[in-house]
Copies of this chain bind each other. A is one copy, B any other.
């Protein structure tokens, strides 16, 4: 499941060696943490030599940045795609929460690494990630505000509701494991309903 999700996340990356290194880095960071992981260990997981790694990435930090960039871009794309098919505020909120929940459940390992290790990025790297995060938050806030204006939502505290719904879907990466839990799609549908109930 995890591997499948990760394959989706890297599938546009070529050559295959870069793809293998990203997948290896996510696994290593998830198991040992970013700071305890060596580029040697990542290269070994990908079946390559340390020198082979440096052909594709200049540093461990470059790998983390690329993982964070791909992840933030992918979840934004997933949410924007799902929003295209929804018209009314409750359907749009359900679409946002469903898409983000499904993404975080499918890509739990990568999502966990991205959220937990974000502070290991340097300033310049984080400056490229920040606007993607801001766009995600803004997208959700706007949907809640639109629902309030139309009278569909009764919620008063838009900031609290926005944070609450972000937590609902992002925290999935912390606790979700495929075994013993509903599928990402079922969880996403249930969370979409929970979100609408929260706002109406």
Residues of A whose CB lies within 8 Å of any CB of B are 32-36, 115-116, 154-155, 157, 160-161, 163-164, 166-168, 170-172, 174-175, 187, 190-191, 193-194, 197-199
CB distance from A148 to the nearest CB of B (A): 13
Q: Which 6 A-B pairs have the closest CB atoms?
A: A33-B33, A35-B36, A167-B171, A36-B36, A160-B190, A198-B198
**Which residue of the partner chain, among B34, B157, B168, contacts A190 with CB atoms under 8 Å?**
B157
Majority SS at the chain A contact face: helix
Contact A174 B164, beta carbon cutoff 8 Å: no
Chain B CB within 10 A, most for which of A34, A166, A175, A197: A197
Q: Is the CB of B36 within 8 A of A191?
A: no
Sample 5 A-B pairs with CB under 8 A, ordered by A number: A33-B33, A116-B116, A157-B194, A168-B171, A198-B198
- Determine the distance from Cα of A133 to Cα of B107 in the docked complex, in whole angstroms: 24
Tell me the complex Cα distance, A191–B174, Å.
20
| Nearest neighbor of A35 in chain B, beta-carbon distance | B36
- Given contact pairs A155-B197, A197-B155, A187 touches B171 in the complex (Cβ within 8 A): no
**Among candidates B116, B191, B199, residue contacting A164 with C-beta atoms closer than 8 Å:** B191
Chain B proximity of A147: nearest CB distance (Å): 13
Which residue from chain B places its CB closest to the CB of A29 in the assembled complex?
B33
Selected contact of A194 from candidates B35, B187, B198, CB within 8 Å: B198
Report yes or no: A197 in contact with B197, Cβ–Cβ below 8 A: yes
